[in-house]
Chains A and B, each alone.
Chain A
Amino acid sequence: MLGSGYGVLALGFALTLRAAGAVNFAHGDVATMAAYGGVVAAAFGATGVMAITAAAFLGGVLGLIVAIITWAPLRRRPVEATFIAAIALGIVAQNSLTVGFGGAPRALPAIVDGGWHIAGVYLSAHGALSLVVAIAAFIGVATLLLRTRTGLRLRAAAEDPEIAAAHGLPVIGLAIFAFLLAGALAGLAGAILSNQHYVTPTVGAIYILKAYIAATAAGWGRILPTALVAVGIALFETIGAALVSQAAAEGALYLAFLALLAFRPEGLAGDIQGRRV
């Protein structure tokens, strides 16, 4: 389930990275806010399915807001401008949530209740359905990018914005669409993660770090590998936490990642676009 959540989250992160060339540092906070949206919906009596839909929808809207505030006006400025603006937006989001909901953890209802005991292991229906949703999102994004006209245009705009614009592609519109889609994916991820792992106002910072690590390890801007590496990170954490402790697993993850950066800065899979300066 952690794997499904991280995977979907990283999918969205890599999408904006590729399509808009932006490191969307508010991505984790979008997931958190959307999850709170789900919590509110549930408080008004929404079922699990309705809550997750609400979260995805809210995530899309938030993604749009992120694009309008932190990306569109700063496109021509140095790359770190968007990065820092997103951090500032994250501060606003986190503290709004703290004021609105308090710092205590909240949980989202499961998409569906119940579960099965299989060979002594309990498999929740929520976990199983999360996996299905994650795989569907993965296939959906892959199909969109590789098989549709919009996907082709997105990739063209990402490859060389100037040339794409000269050919009449709405480069800005496409990038904003990527932000919207990424936001919806973040909302989905937030809802998946916030059932068993709860949600707190500042949990987005940890989520974004994992997505960021996945994007770098997979090779900057490679969308589908990024999602797979994120699943790997989740498995590593889950197994590590079961064997030793949560803190040890996270610490080992960061150290392993630093070693990777020091010795293979181009990432596990190699960097297809060359070093981005």
Chain B
Amino acid sequence: MSAYDLHLLTLAGALASAAIGWQIVFGLSGALSLAAGTAMGLGAYAAVLLPLNLDLPYAAALPAAGALSGLALGCVALAAARLETHYFALATLAVAEAVLLLATNWESVTGGANGILGKSPPHWLIADEARALSALSATIIAILIYYSFKHFIGQERLALLRTQPLAAKAFGVNGAKTRLLAMIAGGICGGLGGAIHALAVGVVSPDVLQFKTMAAILAVVLIGGRRSPVAAVIASILVTFGPEYLRFLEDSYLIVYGLLLLATILFLPNGIAALFPKLSAVRFHKKQLTKVPVPYRTLLRSVNLKRSFGGLSAVDGVSLNLHKGEIVGLIGPNGAGKSTLLNLLSGLEHPDAGKIELAPGVRIGRTFQTPALIEEETVGANLAITGYPSQDQTLVKSLSQSERRFLELTRAREYANGLVLLDEPAAGLAPNERTRLAEEIRNIAAKSAVVVVEHNVPFVASIANRLVCLAEGRVIADGEPKEIVRDPAVVAAYLGVAIDLGADR
């Protein structure tokens, strides 16, 4: 292998480390960070400046570069903790531009636009083989960090966070914390990659902080695959060596590169990793959730809850207590605040005023109007977050709408301890399926309280032992179903005509 090939291999390893770092942030955690190039750039500057200014030996400067970059990206994640999708992307992009400006203009330290020459490395790092080996080590460390992170958070929790952020929150996945850890882990990988890059080229300049570094990382991850470190390594080698074989194109090779990238996004959305055979069925770790009987009759107490959106009051002073063994039907016209109330009770939204108290040990499980499941995964994987043992390998996207409803119900039931909230569980179900649903709800209520938001009033009245009617954010009636469906206020606000539930009830 020629010295030049080894040099390219070193660069490929550096790029692979940074790309694996971005896989942790984007591929695993779903956070669209545009500061992956910045992580690499910070690592490169640290690896050059630490030996120059602090006389740090290279053996210490390389890991320090990774640590510093991880720290810096952690700070970015902290500042952007509350932001999602595009806001997060933009915040990281602004940081990237700010760092680039700083590197270009802080001439006394960074050497400005021309950059700065690194100290000559120690004898053991001079050989091309030694550098290639250090790049390999960085790549292996990045791969280890990737799998540690994935195992530490849990891949079913990460999948839920990526595809159903709201449901993830309902099932106790802390998005901000996960993004913070991902940015730190990704920053370390990127920093190491940058340090190796600086070592290989011997200088560092603002060039490495330009958007094109981010674009290269983007290309590697898209061509490789979002969640396959091995594919990222292959793609890094392709992207680094490719231009050498496209030399005849001269300057135009970057155009070809962009076109290839575009073609990959359009025609091979999962990258070359999709071409690999699946090695084995994915195993999910099952952390058993503690389920202890709650020794209280009242499971949830809420007082004077208020929530408004831009001056429009959605929930306006609702006080509601839920007791063990109760099936509470929550009814009311569209826009009455039913869904908002459910979000408040399950902690997805915070009330503007009022308070919610849960009895000790209570954990709320819930479903959503549109089932919030991980579409690309199996039934077993979807249930893994609850610790429920299921080997069902059926893919969720092949399930019918009603099968999804029942899967979501199982997930809520298994996750919950004491309280289950169901948002329109009967929507789209056939009559025989509704019977099965009623049976399941009664089973759950034997040990818990169940709240059912439902438009099918005869159905909900037939299973509930208490109906609560909301209108314009307020409780207008609360009591026995057969009373409520004849209540003049309920008839006027919602039903239009009184419903006769018949004598069989």
Q: Enumerate chain A interface residues (CB-CB to B < 8 A).
A: 23, 69, 73-74, 77, 79-81, 83-85, 87-92, 95-96, 98-99, 205-206, 209, 212-213, 216, 220, 247, 250-251, 254-255, 257-258, 261-262, 265, 270, 272, 274-277
Contact = CB atoms under 8 A, between A and B. Distances in A.
Contact of B215 (A91, A216, A258, A261): A91
Contacts of A265: 82-83, 87
A83 B87 contact: no
Nearest to A275: B84
Given A95-B252, A258-B91, 11 more contacts: A80-B85, A80-B89, A90-B258, A95-B255, A98-B251, A99-B255, A206-B97, A213-B94, A258-B98, A265-B87, A275-B84
A251 B269 contact: no
Contacts of A83: 32, 86, 89
5 contacts: A83-B89, A85-B266, A258-B95, A261-B79, A272-B310
A84 B104 CA distance: 27
Contacts of A275: 84
B54 to A, nearest CB: 25
Contact of B84 (A81, A84, A212, A277): A277
B425 to A, nearest CB: 22
A84 B222 contact: yes
Interface string B430-473: 00000000000000000000000000000000000000000000
B22 to A, nearest CB: 12
Interface residues of B, number: 42
Contacts of B93: 209, 212
Given A258-B95, A275-B84, A250 B101 contact: yes
A91 B262 CA distance: 10
A88 B94 contact: no
A90 B261 CA distance: 11
A216 B87 contact: yes
B352 to A, nearest CB: 15
Contact of A81 (B85, B215, B269, B310): B269
Q: Which 8 A-B pairs have the closest CB atoms?
A: A91-B258, A92-B258, A95-B254, A88-B261, A254-B98, A88-B262, A254-B94, A247-B105
Contacts of B82: 262, 265
B265 interface: yes
B310 A270 contact: yes
Chain A CB within 10 Å, residue with most, of B83, B166, B211: B211
A23 B86 CA distance: 8
A254 to B, nearest CB: 4
B251 A99 contact: yes
Contacts of A212: 90, 93
Contacts of B165: 277
B218 interface: yes
Contacts of A87: 215, 218
Nearest to A212: B90
Contacts of B91: 258, 261
B218 A84 contact: yes
Interface string B71-111: 00000000110111111011101110110011011000000
Interface string B242-264: 00000000011011011101100
A81 B226 CA distance: 12
A261 B87 contact: yes
Nearest to B261: A88
Contacts of B4: none
Contacts of B257: 91, 95
A275 B88 CA distance: 12
Interface in B46-89: 79-80, 82-87, 89
Given A23-B86, A261-B91, A275-B84, A91 B98 contact: no
Contacts of A220: 86
A276 B254 contact: no
A104 to B, nearest CB: 14
B276 interface: no
A88 B218 CA distance: 9
B255 A251 contact: no
B166 A277 contact: yes
Contacts of B87: 216, 261, 265
A22 to B, nearest CB: 11
A162 B269 CA distance: 25
Contact of B85 (A79, A84, A209): A79
B79 A258 contact: yes
Interface string B211-226: 1100100100010000
Given A88-B265, A254-B97, A254-B98, A277 B252 contact: no
A209 to B, nearest CB: 6
A92 B90 contact: no
Nearest to B253: A95
B152 interface: no
Nearest to B263: A88
Contact of A92 (B211, B262, B265, B310): B262
A262 B32 CA distance: 17
Interface in B21-49: 32
A64 B429 CA distance: 43
Contacts of A84: 218, 222, 265
Given A23-B86, A98-B251, A250-B101, A92 B94 contact: no
Contacts of B252: 95, 99
A9 to B, nearest CB: 16
